[in-house]
Structure 1
Amino acid sequence: MNNDLAKLHPYPFEKLAELKSGITPPAHLAHIALSVGEPKHQPPAFVLQTLTDQQAAFSQYPATKGLPELREAIARWAQQRFKLNAESLSADKHILPVNGTREALFAFVQAIVDRTKPDPLVISPNPFYQIYEGAALLAGAEPWFLNCTAENGYLPDLDAVAPEIWQRCQVIFICSPGNPTGAVADTGVFKKLIALADQYDFVIASDECYSELYFDEQLPPPGLLQACAELGRDDFSRCVVFHSLSKRSNLPGLRSGFVAGDASILKSFLLYRTYHGCAMSVPVQLASIAAWNDEQHVLENRDIYRKKFDAVLAILGDVLEVERPDAGFYLWPRTPISGEDFARQLFAAQNVTVLPGSFLSREHQGVNPGAQQVRMALVAPLEECIEAAHRIRAFVQSL
C-alpha cells in the first residue's frame, strides 16, 4: 500500500459521527442537519429533463476533453461572469470539464507536484476543504497552512509568509468565497498572489465553487482569471480556477464542473486525466450545457439564500458572535464554549447538528483557527433553518 495513506486524517464527518456517538437527542424534536454543505434547493427542471431526453447518449464513450459545445458554453459563461476577453479565454485551450471539483482539486495536485524537488509544499488556507490536505499528502508534498482569523478578515495574510516557505511552495490553494468563512478576496489579493507566483515559480489553484452565492447583485465576487485580465495577463500563466454546478445550480449529484486557466498546465493535466479515466458522461455534459447557459435559476437560488440568512441572523444575532458572510451559504459563529462541546451539547439538547470548526482546521503556529467556532450550512429549507435557529438560540441561552 501507499505509505502516505497512513498520513491522511479522518474526514470531518467521520469525526462528527464519533463526537455524536452514544448521545440520544430528544425524540420529540425532528433532526435538523446544518453540518453538511450539500445544497437542498430544487434542481432546475430543464436540466433534469435534458438528462431524461439524452439517455441514448449513455451508449457513447465520452472524450476526456469533453464536447466542444460544453467547453464553448463554459467559455461564454466565464467570459461574461468574470469580464474576460473572448479572444484570450479559448474553449479549446483553456477549459477542461471535470466530474465535480472535489475530483479535480485532488487530481490537479497529483499532476502538478514535482517530487524531484526537495521538500515540496502545498499551501492552503486554514480552515480549509480537507481535499487540499489529502491531495498534498498523497502527492508526496507537505501541507502548509495560512491561518484565517477574524483579525485578518478570514483571508490569508500573504505578507506573513517567509521567503523560504514560498521557495518550497509548488501549489497554493485559495478559496474565495471561503469555505467555511464566506470571506471574499478582492482582485488586489489575487494580484499580489500572482506576483508571488511569478517570483517564486508556483501554481495558484483558485477554488471558486461558491462564487455564485452572494448577496449584492451589483458586487459578485471576483475571480483569479478576472485579476489576470485586469493585469493584461491573457495567457493566465500559473493561474488555474475550479468551478462547479453543485452550489450554483443545486446539482451536487450531477458531479459537473470545470477547470480553466493556463493552457500549458491544462495540456499536461489533460494528459494525466486521460490516463486517470475520469471523462464526464455525454448526457451529463449535455445537461451541464443547459445549466451553464441559464442564469435565471441562479438568480432565484441566491434569493432563497438571502431570505434564509436574513431570518436566521435575526434570531441568532444577539445571542451569538455571528455575522453575515461576504458570500457562500455558511455561518461561522464564534461559540461561548469550544466548538466541539457546542456541537455535542447542541445535538444532545436540541437534535440539531453543526460541524465543529476544529474539524475543518489544523493547529498551525500554535493556533487552531476553528477551535472556538462551528460551521452552520444553511442548506435546509427556510422553515427548517428558522426552526434550527430558534433551537440554537434556546440552547445558547441555557448555557
Structure 2
Amino acid sequence: MVFPERFSNLPDYAFPRLRKLLDVHPAGGEVIHMTIGEPQHPMPDFIGPILAESLAEFGKYPPNEGTPELLAAIGDWLHRRYGVRIDAAEQAMALNGTREGLFNALLALCPEKKGGKRPVVLMPNPFYQVYAVAALTIGAEPVYVPATADNGFLPDFGLLPSDILERTAVAYLCSPSNPQGAVASRDYWAGLLRLAEKHDFRIFADECYSEIWRTAPPPGVLEVAQETGADAERVLTFHSLSKRSNLPGLRSGFVAGGPGSIARIRQLRAYAGAPLPLPIQRVSERVWADEAHVEANRALYQEKYAAADEILEGVPGYEGPEGGFFLWLPVEDGEAAALKLWRETGVRVLPGGYLSREVEGFNPGQGYIRVAMVAPLEDMGRGLSRLRDCLYN
C-alpha cells in the first residue's frame, strides 16, 4: 500500500511500537498490563436485557444522526451535567466512539485554505494520535504545542506566533487530558474561547474522561461557552460511554455543538460513514440517562487515586492526576524505563515519547511513562509497588 507523502514521517502507532520494544524479551515476573486505557470495571448490569429486547432491530437501517430518543437522552445529560440546554435534534449526533468524531469532524469542517494559505490544526503535545492523523489526512499542518509540568500540562496556544494563529482552523484540547490527567479550568476555557474568537478558529474539546475525577467535576467547554456568550459554531464537544460507563466495546459516543457544524458532520456521515446499529442506540439511550453506575465507577477510581498516592509517595516529581485514569510518571528515559520494568518485573507500561512528537529537538513525553490504572485495585497496587521498587529505589 502506498501512503501519501504527508504520512511519510508518521511513526508507528504506540502499541505496535511497544510490542517491538518489549516482546523480544521475556517478562521478568507475573505480567501486569498497565498500558492500554481499556476500562476493567463492571459495565452497567441493565445492558444485557435492553440489548436482548432490541435484537430484532439489527434487521433495520439505523438513522444517520441517532434516534430521537438517543438524541434527547444526550441533550438531557448535557443539561444535568453542565447546565447547558441544546436543541439535540439539531445540535448533536451519535458517534461510533469519539475517535470517529474527532477524525471526521476535521474532514467536515476544516477549510482547504485559510487566508489563502495551508490551514493549521493545533494540538497539545503529548496528544491522542488521531488529532495528527486527521490533520495530515486533509493536508493541514499539525502544530504540536508542548503540555509540560511548567504549564500545568495544558498547552498555552496563545504563545504561538501570530502567523500560525491566523492560519489556525481548529484547536484540539483534551480535558481531563490524556496522558497527564490535567483539567482545564473555566478560566482556561474562557481564554481559549477568546483566542479562538480573535483568530477565527474552532475548538474541538475531547472530553471523554470528564466523568472520572478526583475532587470536583471538570468544567465543560459548552458551559463556559454559554457563560461567556461565545458563538455556538465555534465549539464542538466529544463524549463517550467507553470510560464513563465501562463500555469501550459498545463504540458509542456523541458530538455536540452549533447546528451548522453538526449539519456538515451529519452530511459527511451520510456519504462516508456508518451510524450506530439500532440495538446499540437503544442501550446508549438508557446508559446516558443513568448516573448511579457512573457514581459507583468514579468511586472505584477515587480509591485508585488514593492507592497510587500512598504507594508513590516520595517519588520525585510524582503528581496524582486530577482526572482520567492514567499516571504520568517522570523517569530519565521512557523507553529505557519501560524496557527495564518489563524485563525485571513483568509490568507493562507505555513510554511517554510514543504519545508525543519531537519539535525543535524536544520531545515532551520522552522523560515519562504512562501507566493505566484500569486493572482491579489489588492488581494495580501490586503493579505500582513493583514499578516503584524497580525504577525509583
TM tier, shorter chain?
A: over 0.9
Tell me which residue corresponds to 2:173: 174
C-alpha separation in 1, matches of 2:336 and 2:252: 36
1:350 aligns with 2:345: yes
C-alpha separation in 1, matches of 2:18 and 2:59: 41
Tell me which residue corresponds to 2:387: 392
* AA partner of residue 238 (structure 1): R
The two structures have a TM-score, normalised by structure 1, of 0.95
1:20 maps to which of 19, 22, 32? 22
Structure 1: gaps spanning 5 or more residues = none
Alpha-carbon displacement from aligned partner over 1:144-184 (angstroms, at most 9, x marks no partner): 01101111111111331111111111111011100001000
Any idea what SS the aligned residue of 2:298 has? Answer: helix
Equivalences for residues 153-172 of structure 1 within 5 A: 153-172=152-171
* AA partner of residue 66 (structure 1): G
Tell me which residue corresponds to 1:104: 101
Q: Does the CA-based 8 Å contact 2:169-2:200 persist in structure 1?
A: yes
Tell me which residue corresponds to 1:115: 112
- Per-residue deviation, 1:7: 4.4
Q: Does the CA-based 8 Å contact 1:66-1:97 persist in structure 2?
A: yes
Tell me which residue corresponds to 2:218: 221
Equivalences for residues 138-153 of structure 1 within 5 A: 138-153=137-152
Any idea what SS the aligned residue of 2:233 has? Answer: coil
Equivalences for residues 1-399 of structure 1 within 5 A: 1-3=2-4, 4-26=6-28, 29-84=29-84, 86=85, 89-117=86-114, 118-216=117-215, 219-233=216-230, 236-335=232-331, 337-397=332-392
Q: Does the CA-based 8 Å contact 2:75-2:87 persist in structure 1?
A: yes
Q: Does the CA-based 8 Å contact 1:60-1:282 persist in structure 2?
A: yes
C-alpha separation in 2, matches of 1:97 and 1:144: 29
Alpha-carbon displacement from aligned partner over 1:100-132 (angstroms, at most 9, x marks no partner): 001111111111222244221111001000000
C-alpha separation in 2, matches of 1:397 and 1:252: 33
C-alpha separation in 2, matches of 1:330 and 1:357: 11
- Per-residue deviation, 1:5: 4.2
Query: CA separation of 1:342/1:59 partners in 2, compared to 1, >3 Å: closer, same or farther?
Result: same
* AA partner of residue 71 (structure 2): R
Q: Does the CA-based 8 Å contact 1:47-1:288 persist in structure 2?
A: no
The two structures have a TM-score, normalised by structure 2, of 0.96
* AA partner of residue 179 (structure 1): N
Structure 2: gaps spanning 5 or more residues = none
Alpha-carbon displacement from aligned partner over 1:288-312 (angstroms, at most 9, x marks no partner): 0110000000000011111112112
* AA partner of residue 178 (structure 1): S
* AA partner of residue 98 (structure 1): L
Q: Does the CA-based 8 Å contact 2:356-2:365 persist in structure 1?
A: yes
Q: Does the CA-based 8 Å contact 1:317-1:323 persist in structure 2?
A: no
C-alpha separation in 2, matches of 1:238 and 1:64: 23
Identity %: 42
Q: Does the CA-based 8 Å contact 1:98-1:278 persist in structure 2?
A: no
C-alpha separation in 1, matches of 2:157 and 2:257: 22
C-alpha separation in 2, matches of 1:115 and 1:393: 49
- Per-residue deviation, 1:40: 0.8
C-alpha separation in 1, matches of 2:226 and 2:316: 41
- Per-residue deviation, 1:83: 1.4
C-alpha separation in 2, matches of 1:283 and 1:153: 42
For these two proteins, the number of residue pairs brought into alignment is 389
Any idea what SS the aligned residue of 1:379 has? Answer: coil
- Per-residue deviation, 1:2: 4.9
C-alpha separation in 2, matches of 1:110 and 1:387: 44
Q: Which deviates further from its counterpart, 315-324 or 96-105?
A: 315-324
Alpha-carbon displacement from aligned partner over 1:33-53 (angstroms, at most 9, x marks no partner): 111011111111112321122
Query: CA separation of 1:296/1:190 partners in 2, compared to 1, >3 Å: closer, same or farther?
Result: same
- Per-residue deviation, 1:397: 4.6
Q: Does the CA-based 8 Å contact 1:8-1:137 persist in structure 2?
A: no
C-alpha separation in 2, matches of 1:48 and 1:324: 35
